[in-house]
Amino acid sequence: MKIQLATLISREPRWFFTVILLLLFMCFPSGNHIFSDSVNSQHEIETHQPRPAIGTRGLGLSRAFISGADDATSPLWNPAGLASLDRGNLIYDFSQGAFSLAYPINPIGTFGINLLDLNLSDRFLVNHDSNPIGTFEYGYNQALLSYARKFGPVQLGASTGYSRAPYQNSLWAPNYDIGALMTLSPHAIVGMQIRDISGVSIQDKNGIVLKTFDPQFAVGTTLIPHQFVRWHASFNTVPPSLGTSVEIVTGPLSANVGSHFSFDTGTPTHSWSLGLAFKQWGKQTYYTFLNENNLEYKHLLSIGLTFGEPQQTSDRLRNEKVKPISSNTTPIETPQTPDNLKGAESDLSSTTPHVTPQTPDKPYPEKVKPTPNSSLKKSIQIAKKHNISIELMLAIIYVESKFNPVAVSKTGAGGLMQIVPGTAREYGLKVPRYSNKLKPNFDRKVDERFDAEKNLNAGLVYFNYLLEKYLNNLTLALGAYNVGPGKVRIRGPLISRGKKYAESVLNRRDLYKSDRKLLEKDLKRLEVILKN
């Protein structure tokens, strides 16, 4: 049922808003609605408290999730993290009864909804002491509607919703959060969040204050010294607390250990956590062991589902996709990596144009200056238009299709750049709906993937999108081109198949750099294909 719902939402974005409105209608009672399901008495109420921390993954990182939030639970830690999503994400936290759903809609931004404490008895399936999986606070309800958008290296987000405290006769009251994330480099991210900035008070039907949430301000940072290692840290000013965690990521598995220090009472208290995550085939599983003295249940578990086609693209790429791609479109000036730029330095023969290598003072290549005898004009123009080195462009084509413009893979990808039907349509190519995608129509007017020039342009636009998405990390962009961006996290690492593919492309690129005759041969080969 969850898979059917996810498929419907991914195909029809209007269903996303329908689901949000339905859930909000079901979960937002009127201001006079009274709850009496709590076991806490009025005498046990502590008026001023921070909002409790919710979410298996964030708690597993010892609450150092301010700068690392990048899934549907992001609004519980930093709503700006929603802008990292390029596909829909649904997560259910069994231990705390938290339902999180997020979906990006271009060019508007990413929307999310979080509903907390959906379990009737706050226990996973069975409310019994022998059940090892559970929550640490009874009856805390919250419903959040969130929005986030990315502006270059900066992500901004906000949440608004209603909350109620875990006490008898508690009323719903509004609260608001805002957050920001900034990617300083592929190795460093900083973030901040202000929580419940309105100072929400929750009262009973007689107007007696039951609980207020102190405004909270938190800052965090994530450092990535190696593609397999991440260090997370966060500091919360109210109440004063510090969280830190080291995470090891390899393929679909990740593990972390962290510590949290609270200085609220003047006497520092310490807790620690262990976390495990498994992400594969669009599914996620998170487990946390949380060692806090005041918690009876220390095991937390949540599962997630990623769905839909990649959505997050820049306005520049969207403009490129809305019309069929041809050699007359405006060049895309995509930021380059050092590996990508070095290819422009090759000194080709007199039949080959020369592209000036890029420097910090010259972010884009100078105009191509073909020689009078140049027969490679179209190939060079396409490379220049997409701001990609000749060597890298040829290497991708070689590894993908061996320069066969009608190649079809076992997964139904077709043409020079081996584009699957769905991606081809998204990037402006006309592709029929096949009952058997392994037996396509090779007529280039029917299936434009087999028009070599349109296929090459579409593939390079898609590759440049991936290069931007993965922060100009050439290896990750290549791996995502092969296995799909849904299987590659923004900061890696790559699964083995994607890693082998990236190595193959880079090895072929280096071969072109060292063997000028091979480079000229394959350039002429491509030119013949493009002219047919």
Cis peptide preceding 107, ω within 30 of 0: yes
**Quick one: the chain helix, strand, coil %, rounded to 5?**
30, 30, 45
* Set 247, 320, 391, 400: catalytic member: 400
Q: Where are the beta strands (DSSP E) in 186-320?
A: 188-195, 201-203, 209-213, 216-226, 229-236, 241-250, 253-262, 269-280, 283-291, 299-307
Torsion of CA 349, 350, 351, 353, to 10 degrees: 80
Hey, how many other C-beta atoms are within 10 angstroms of the C-beta on 6? 21
Residue-by-residue DSSP string for 344-372: GG----TTS---PPPBTTB-SPPPP---T
Indicate if 520 belongs to the active site: no
Beta bridge partner(s), residue 146: 112, 159
Q: Could you tell me which of 503, 491, 502 has the C-alpha nearest to residue 84? A: 491
CA distance 71 to 58: 11
Over the range 272-306, which residues count as b (16 or more CB within 10 Å of their CB) and which as e?
ebbbebebeebebebbbebebeeeebbbbbbbbbb
464 phi and psi angles, rounded to 5 deg: -65, -35
Beta bridge partner(s), residue 38: none
Inter-residue contact 1 to 300 (CB < 8 Å): no
Catalytic residues: 400
